Structure 1
Amino acid sequence: MKSPPAHLVEELSQLGYTLMRLLLTEAKEIFAQEGLSRLQAEVLKLVAEGINLPSRLAEHLEVQPSQISHLLASLEEAGLIERRLDPQDRRRVLLTLTENGVALQRRIEAAWHQVYGRRLSRLSPEELHAFRDVLRKLTEVDDA
């Protein structure tokens, strides 16, 4: 497959970066209104998705385990997560969202959908489907 022209790669790269920066800026504002940092909000999302080991959170967020420990301590102190010993392996800690954590994570997710939805509302139904199809293609894992 032939590579796209360099000028087009550059323009698409800049546009993609600008879109992500705009979305993250708006998301950070939402998180701040809820008293959370971006990483704290991401931890809530990942735990809600079933990533319940601190080591796996560190891998997903690409941070040091000590940073995860601080994030978890702050979320636990806020009453948003609980840490429990794994009944199968008492050396491991499992994470769960508390009732307040679930409610907060749902509010954040709904607000994020509104932010992203506002951007997407600029597209026609046909453009939305085309955009989805292009994103699916770009995010496919290569078989190599």
Structure 2
Amino acid sequence: MLMSMAMLLAVSFALASEPSAQDRPVALATTVTDPYATRPRARIFSSLKIRNFEVRREDANDWIVYLETARNTWFRGEMICWGGGDPRDAQLLEPVSHTGGIDANTSLVFRDLSSQTSVCSLVKLISLTPEEILDLKLVRPSKAKKG
């Protein structure tokens, strides 16, 4: 009996010394939403269709590749990279896939002029809308024709 009273007193003192909800610092909730989260996954049916590419770094750890297949048709791929080179310096892109196309299971080998190589694995590939292409400055807006 004496032991249970001592435990009750210890718990009540601990609760009394705990700061109230008003005294606790409020953590600001910064939810970063992925604008591409609900977008369906895309596939480029032939790696021979790649005309242009650009690699960017988003946030601190995210590697993103933008792939152009036809005039102003762009795809966005999230990657995990390793190797000695920086894929942003690459002049050559070599897709490695068993299907000949590019999708979320494709490895990409980036080579620069000094023979440095970066190998990246795509984890997500989506197609971009014309508005997103302009916002990302992948193409310049067309000038109005004078008539």
| TM-score of the two chains, using structure 2 as the length reference | 0.25
- Higher-Rg structure is 2
Q: Which has the higher helix share?
A: 1
| TM-score of the two chains, using structure 1 as the length reference | 0.25
